[in-house]
Structure 1
Amino acid sequence: MHADFRILVCRLLALLGAISSVQAFYIPGWSIRSYVDDEAIPLHVNKVYSDNTQLQYAYYDLPFVCPPTGQKHAGYASGQSVSLNLGEVLRGDRIMASDYDLAMGQDKECQYLCSHKTDRNGIKRAQQLIEDGYVAEWIVDNLPGATSFVTVDKTHKYYAAGFKMGYKDFSPVTGKPRYFINNHLTIVIRWKQAPGRAGDQGGKVIVGFEVYTKSIEAGHREGTGCPQDVHAENEGMELYLSHNNTHLASQYPHSSYLPPDDDLDDGSTITIPYSYAVYFREDDRVEWSKRWDLYFNNQEESTSIHWLAIINSLVICGLLTAVVVMIIAKTVVGDGRKNAKDGGLEDNKMKLKSKKPRTGNRSPREKSNGLLDQKSEVELDNDSSSDEEFVEDITGWKLLHGDVFRAPAYAGFLAPLIGSGTQLVFMATGLLILSALGVLNPSFRGGFVSVGMGLFVFAGIFSGYFSGRIYKTFNGKDWRRNTLMTALLFPGLLFSTIFILNLFVWAQASSTALPFGTLLGLVALWLLIQLPLVYCGSWYGFHHSSPYEHPTKTNSIPRQIPEQPWYMRRIYTILLAGLIPFAVIFIELLFVFRSIWQDKSGYYYVFGFLSVVSLVCIVTIIEVTIVATYIQLCAENYNWWWQSVFIGSGSAVWIFLYCVWFYWTKLHIQGFISGMLFFSYSLLACAVYGLLTGTVGFLTAYAFVRRIYGYVLIHHPEHTLHRIKANDHGSAIKAD
């Protein structure tokens, strides 16, 4: 047995290693694009974003950048929008063609782009974006433009997606802040010979896209618009406008009053010249399939932390597994066998204990111990008469056999929730499998959200099926009403919340605001595709599937529930049961939060580790639900239906508290709108997670309860689960 256990552990560790090894494996999603010398390469501009706010803006919506001219470059007219998938739209991408000219192998020391005039409002907007630390995202060959860094020991280089719009310093004279715009960009394209036949024909693939910024004052430029010396130390382009005294004199005659600079409208403008340089450099150290690895900061250092998270999860899950095995193997099964042997019906005979003590000579030892002679236990037929009293040996959870499957309160609300929860379980399982296999990866921009939305809509058929069958098990009659609740309740609440939050984002003119056409598309997916799928699944589950069978019958009169101990109160049970799954995932949760809230480029990559931790978390939730449900039944409380949902979703409470802690200690979010969006989306994500895990808890408790009450009837049909009682005189014994 010990050898088998060691083999099982070795196989488990090998499986974990195999799953985690796919963390850097990418299925591109697109064929490798190669370029020959002098072939035009399109450069697309996307958006600007910051770690200090939740608001993003389209690059060409900024009033101080060069607007698109409409000329064609690499087959695209500048300002032309690129087709986006649903995930890209939802994450705030607004990708457009630009006026930057790039051709494979052609270096440009300096290329003038434009000189753009902007007024005080534009200057104020630029200063605010620089103050908030906004960075711009450009795209070449599906790679985001990156700022290059090296580690402290200078042995590794890594990328940070995006480049800063400008920088801020303070005047050495006045001490006031000054803002400088980065108006000269150096673009470095790193390439490698293409593999296979394309490489033999001179093809090259892009393995790196770096952007280096510089601020150069307009007076240090030649007539062509290019700086006199790009590599020299030049004065920066400060975003500052002096007062237009002539305009102010006409606007405020006979007055020495001047409004503040923020409210000043004197017609002054500033001209910002923009230029860029392009360099192509060969880099044989990076494979095309590994070109995204540079965007994953400190990948090697974080791997040990991910393994620590897995070990922590396995230890907690292993201890909990031992508890569950003890409950099932020794308590449940042992009680069944004991009662079948000592208190059961066997060959129409029962074991009774004498009501009167035995008379006669007894040894001092027997008297001191109060022992009865074994002959005082007699076997009587069911129809025999005796003045002995039956002592029932059914305690704890076995007393609830006539009430444990009683339909819960608000059963018509529980069935749709469980149906929607199964929909989320299917979607999450599919996303984790595809991500761990490398199908969903950063090169598939917006793929995670798009595929998740597709899986959610398709899973409507499973949602309807489970909801309809559970509703039928609860003796429901109006299946069409249940179908509509399943199809409209959870998706409706989700859509309404997102729509209300979208109004606030619209008011800020952010690119994360969903366009009206996208909202109509989401409504069409919901009502024209998902609702019919839910209807079909519910119709089949209600009309063509039998209700779930229960091993015991339900009494007509509910049993009175005794007073429960303090730890069985709902709030304490939820918090205590939810703490254990949270302890399993909290280390990996930190990486997920960093990817979503701190690094808004969204390049989370270790889906292999995340899949393992998620699997262990689900197993932990299953085991916690079994333990908590068994304790509740032993306390003679048969209201386990809703309790199992709350126990399964208990870790969502701790995750939301973790979000609050992360906000106050790790983030530097500024502004009311950004803070509201953070907490709103965090609460929404925790609610979705809670419904998913609550469904897992419900299905687990349902299977467990049916199993333990059905075990005795299947393996020990003589077990006295049916209520047994004596007649008024204690002589006749009858089984209900």
Structure 2
Amino acid sequence: MFIAHLAIFCLCLLQFGIKADEHNHVYNDREEVVLWMNTVGPYANRQETYAYFSLPFCAGNKQSISHYHETLSEALQGVELEFSGYEIDFTINVPKQEVCMVELNDDKVNAFTYAVRNDYWYQMYIDGLPIWGKVGEKDEKDKKYYIYTHKKFDIGYNGKQIVDINLTPESKELLAPGKKIKFTYEVNWKPSTVKFENRFDKYLDPNFFQHRIHWFSIFNSFMMVIFLVGLVSMILMRTLRKDYARYSKDEEMDDMERDLGDEYGWKQVHGDVFRSPPHALIFSAMIGAGYQLTSVVFSVILFAIIGELYTERGSMLSTAIFVYAATSPINGYFGGSLYARLGGKVWIRQMLVSAFMVPVFVCGTAFFINFIAIYYHASRAIPFGTMVAVTCICIFIILPLTVVGTVVGRNLDGQPDFPCRVNAVPRPIPEKKWFMEPGIIILLGGVLPFGSIFIEMYFIFTSFWAYKIYYVYGFMLLVFSILMVVTICVTIVCTYFLLNAEDYRWQWTSFLSAASTSLYVYAYSFYYFFFKTKMYGLFQTTFYFGYMALFSGGLGIICGTVGYVGTSIFVRKIYSNVKID
């Protein structure tokens, strides 16, 4: 009964998300077309945004509209749609028309001057299509600042659908106290041959995203995969074959010869290799979260490829939130079953940590940044109602689904089935060379995985922090798959070296050596910040490094989980093929 009610609730949420679309994108002649004023902010950082009317602009005379919708993802992204008050009707030209008259006082002049000096641009929407315009121009030599007072809209239509919009800011006016400025606009409708499904192509930048450097990076990463897979197949398989031959020869010796022999290698730790790692609760929770995040990333990329989610405002984040909530049973199943196999007893605590670890990490960072955004009166400030909505999703959707997954996982896959018995007393770990210590292996383990993705990181960072729309999700899927393969190969090699040094602490080492990729990604974000952006100030710096920490942390959990899972299969395989006395 509970599952049935939960399914109905999720369907209702999905239905609500479908109905929350702003338009059906079909208009009749003279039908209302809404111009939404969104945000304004510095060109150097597209993520630092403020409400459009935070500057002393003025709205048109029209007071009401027939529809308005805002989704949860728009609220989280700081999309503040405010009605412009402009009279725009489908296919009806509007000659130059006055919006309002603004008399400039010292405060208004200072506000506009600051915006022009810092290269502020504003963003608007018509029929879901973004429009950007520059607030004004500056003459640094004469220390004069001008503002554009006229907006000229050229709107292309094909049949009953809007397919193209161009904005031309015109009429520069010098900013000076006591001056009266008249804001105007005009609308020109033009037939277009652009098809509706292709109307977003003008916002894309094929010359940037499909540059030959991008293709070369994909080819380079692919060759790295071939090299690493060949390395693992040749060296490890040949080495393991020699190990098996040596261990078989040892088994044929009598006890006296075996005692006098020089035994060493990974077989010596067979009684401890499947020992439960320290902090098993945290470890299993991170593995469960990694399974879920990996599923979310693959699903969202596939949805973006199939449905072109980048063309609809907020659809990418909405899809990610829905998929994350829907995949909560995956988290519970794999995290709960692993914790049970490791002998964990407080499974309820483990389930709570597994369910809320990533949401608390994300929400804690976002809310900290939110306080700074509130201080700066930025549109990125998350409203209290949105915080409550996110909390409700965590408590009433994510938590119950995680409980279901945990119960199923503990009952179906919670029994230990290790190929070797675990000794009652841990075996002492012998001394080894410094470069075989787990700390060194962890630091070095992320170098090659980062090398396979760092060029793609540049394109992803540029699309998020600059005015580029990322649309090559086929590239992203390929690079993500390459990252997974490289991570597995590297962690298997690192774990083999560790076990061969008779160090059985492979669980955390395999996870952290793969997760260390995130350290290099975060370090690269510092380089990108100082050499590829023009950001400055507390708000921009906090916003940038806060969300880069979220991105790097999520990537680290994904890589760590993939590395551990691949290594776990490898370890079980090699120990199941050795006869243990």
Are 1:165 and 2:135 matched, yes or no?
yes
2:151 corresponding residue in structure 1: 185
Deviations along 1:80-101, whole A, 9 cap, x unmatched?
Answer: xx32222211111111332222
Question: CA distance change for structure 1 residues 390 and 644 in 2, over 3 Å: closer, same or farther?
Answer: closer
Are 1:470 and 2:338 matched, yes or no?
yes
1:228 corresponding residue in structure 2: none
Are 1:122 and 2:114 matched, yes or no?
no
1:316 corresponding residue in structure 2: 224
Using the TM superposition, give the Cα deviation of residue 66 of structure 1 relative to its aligned residue in structure 2, in angstroms.
Answer: 1.0
1:45 corresponding residue in structure 2: 37
Using the alignment, how far apart are the partners of 1:343 and 1:308 within structure 2? 50
Deviations along 1:51-92, whole A, 9 cap, x unmatched?
Answer: 324421122333x1113545246x35xxxxx32222211111
Could you tell me which amino acid in structure 2 is paired with residue 186 of structure 1?
K
2:198 corresponding residue in structure 1: 290
Preserved CA contact (<8 Å) 2:340 2:410: yes
Alignment of 1:59-74 (within 5 A): 59-62=52-55, 64-67=56-59, 69=61, 71-72=63-64
Using the alignment, how far apart are the partners of 1:177 and 1:90 within structure 2? 38
Preserved CA contact (<8 Å) 1:574 1:647: yes
Could you tell me which amino acid in structure 2 is paired with residue 489 of structure 1?
M
Question: CA distance change for structure 1 residues 34 and 389 in 2, over 3 Å: closer, same or farther?
Answer: closer
Structure 1 residue runs of 5 or longer lacking an equivalent are 1-28, 77-81, 146-161, 193-202, 216-235, 242-268, 345-349, 353-381, 713-718, 723-736
Preserved CA contact (<8 Å) 2:250 2:258: no
Preserved CA contact (<8 Å) 1:470 1:547: no
Are 1:688 and 2:557 matched, yes or no?
no
Preserved CA contact (<8 Å) 1:436 1:611: no
Secondary structure, counterpart of 1:408 in structure 2: coil
Using the TM superposition, give the Cα deviation of residue 539 of structure 1 relative to its aligned residue in structure 2, in angstroms.
Answer: 2.2
Alignment of 1:695-710 (within 5 A): 695-710=561-576
Are 1:637 and 2:546 matched, yes or no?
no
Question: CA distance change for structure 1 residues 471 and 185 in 2, over 3 Å: closer, same or farther?
Answer: same
Using the alignment, how far apart are the partners of 1:670 and 1:176 within structure 2? 25
Question: CA distance change for structure 1 residues 695 and 84 in 2, over 3 Å: closer, same or farther?
Answer: same
Are 1:421 and 2:290 matched, yes or no?
yes
Secondary structure, counterpart of 2:210 in structure 1: helix
Could you tell me which amino acid in structure 2 is paired with residue 93 of structure 1?
V
Question: CA distance change for structure 1 residues 519 and 270 in 2, over 3 Å: closer, same or farther?
Answer: farther
Using the TM superposition, give the Cα deviation of residue 142 of structure 1 relative to its aligned residue in structure 2, in angstroms.
Answer: 1.3
Are 1:442 and 2:310 matched, yes or no?
yes
Preserved CA contact (<8 Å) 2:304 2:310: no
Preserved CA contact (<8 Å) 2:22 2:69: no
Using the TM superposition, give the Cα deviation of residue 176 of structure 1 relative to its aligned residue in structure 2, in angstroms.
Answer: 4.1
Secondary structure, counterpart of 1:435 in structure 2: helix
Using the alignment, how far apart are the partners of 2:38 and 2:494 within structure 1? 50
Preserved CA contact (<8 Å) 1:183 1:214: yes
Question: CA distance change for structure 1 residues 566 and 613 in 2, over 3 Å: closer, same or farther?
Answer: same
Are 1:433 and 2:419 matched, yes or no?
no
Could you tell me which amino acid in structure 2 is paired with residue 136 of structure 1?
Y
Secondary structure, counterpart of 2:44 in structure 1: coil
Question: CA distance change for structure 1 residues 391 and 698 in 2, over 3 Å: closer, same or farther?
Answer: same
Question: CA distance change for structure 1 residues 185 and 565 in 2, over 3 Å: closer, same or farther?
Answer: same
Question: CA distance change for structure 1 residues 513 and 399 in 2, over 3 Å: closer, same or farther?
Answer: same
Question: CA distance change for structure 1 residues 303 and 52 in 2, over 3 Å: closer, same or farther?
Answer: closer
Preserved CA contact (<8 Å) 2:62 2:87: no
- Compute the RMSD of aligned alpha carbons: 2.3
Secondary structure, counterpart of 2:452 in structure 1: helix
Secondary structure, counterpart of 1:110 in structure 2: strand
Deviations along 1:518-547, whole A, 9 cap, x unmatched?
Answer: 001111111122112222222222244332
Using the alignment, how far apart are the partners of 1:48 and 1:104 within structure 2? 26
Secondary structure, counterpart of 2:344 in structure 1: coil
Preserved CA contact (<8 Å) 2:137 2:146: yes
Using the alignment, how far apart are the partners of 1:665 and 1:535 within structure 2? 46
Using the TM superposition, give the Cα deviation of residue 129 of structure 1 relative to its aligned residue in structure 2, in angstroms.
Answer: 1.7
Using the TM superposition, give the Cα deviation of residue 431 of structure 1 relative to its aligned residue in structure 2, in angstroms.
Answer: 0.9
1:144 corresponding residue in structure 2: 130
Which of 167, 187, 190 does residue 281 from structure 1 map onto? 190
Question: CA distance change for structure 1 residues 389 and 40 in 2, over 3 Å: closer, same or farther?
Answer: closer
1:576 corresponding residue in structure 2: 444
Using the TM superposition, give the Cα deviation of residue 394 of structure 1 relative to its aligned residue in structure 2, in angstroms.
Answer: 4.9
Using the alignment, how far apart are the partners of 1:417 and 1:687 within structure 2? 11
Alignment of 1:523-534 (within 5 A): 523-534=391-402
Secondary structure, counterpart of 1:138 in structure 2: strand
* Aligned positions, number: 560
Which of 192, 210, 230 does residue 166 from structure 2 map onto? 210
Using the alignment, how far apart are the partners of 2:78 and 2:294 within structure 1? 26
Alignment of 1:99-138 (within 5 A): 99-138=85-124
Preserved CA contact (<8 Å) 2:209 2:472: no
Deviation >6 Å, runs of 4+: 29-32
2:490 corresponding residue in structure 1: 624
Using the TM superposition, give the Cα deviation of residue 30 of structure 1 relative to its aligned residue in structure 2, in angstroms.
Answer: 9.1
Secondary structure, counterpart of 1:66 in structure 2: coil
Deviations along 1:112-161, whole A, 9 cap, x unmatched?
Answer: 1111234322221222222222211121221112xxxxxxxxxxxxxxxx
* TM-score, length of structure 2 as denominator length: 0.91
Using the alignment, how far apart are the partners of 1:72 and 1:521 within structure 2? 27
Farther off after superposition, 491-500 or 513-522: 491-500
Preserved CA contact (<8 Å) 2:284 2:339: yes
Using the alignment, how far apart are the partners of 2:323 and 2:209 within structure 1? 34
Question: CA distance change for structure 1 residues 534 and 275 in 2, over 3 Å: closer, same or farther?
Answer: same
2:51 corresponding residue in structure 1: 58
Could you tell me which amino acid in structure 1 is paired with residue 81 of structure 2?
I
Using the alignment, how far apart are the partners of 2:562 and 2:257 within structure 1? 49
Using the TM superposition, give the Cα deviation of residue 649 of structure 1 relative to its aligned residue in structure 2, in angstroms.
Answer: 0.8
Using the alignment, how far apart are the partners of 2:457 and 2:207 within structure 1? 16
Are 1:97 and 2:83 matched, yes or no?
yes
Preserved CA contact (<8 Å) 2:285 2:350: yes
Using the TM superposition, give the Cα deviation of residue 511 of structure 1 relative to its aligned residue in structure 2, in angstroms.
Answer: 0.8
2:25 corresponding residue in structure 1: 33
Question: CA distance change for structure 1 residues 300 and 665 in 2, over 3 Å: closer, same or farther?
Answer: closer
2:7 corresponding residue in structure 1: none
Using the alignment, how far apart are the partners of 1:567 and 1:509 within structure 2? 51
Using the alignment, how far apart are the partners of 1:104 and 1:51 within structure 2? 31
Using the alignment, how far apart are the partners of 2:98 and 2:62 within structure 1? 17
Secondary structure, counterpart of 2:311 in structure 1: coil
Preserved CA contact (<8 Å) 1:440 1:448: no
Using the alignment, how far apart are the partners of 1:274 and 1:596 within structure 2? 32
Preserved CA contact (<8 Å) 1:309 1:613: no
1:610 corresponding residue in structure 2: 476
Using the alignment, how far apart are the partners of 1:531 and 1:576 within structure 2? 36
2:408 corresponding residue in structure 1: 540
Alignment of 1:234-249 (within 5 A): 236-241=172-177
> Which one has the largest radius of gyration?
1
Question: CA distance change for structure 1 residues 68 and 419 in 2, over 3 Å: closer, same or farther?
Answer: farther
Using the alignment, how far apart are the partners of 2:34 and 2:23 within structure 1? 17
Secondary structure, counterpart of 1:182 in structure 2: strand
Preserved CA contact (<8 Å) 1:423 1:459: yes
Using the alignment, how far apart are the partners of 1:436 and 1:647 within structure 2? 31
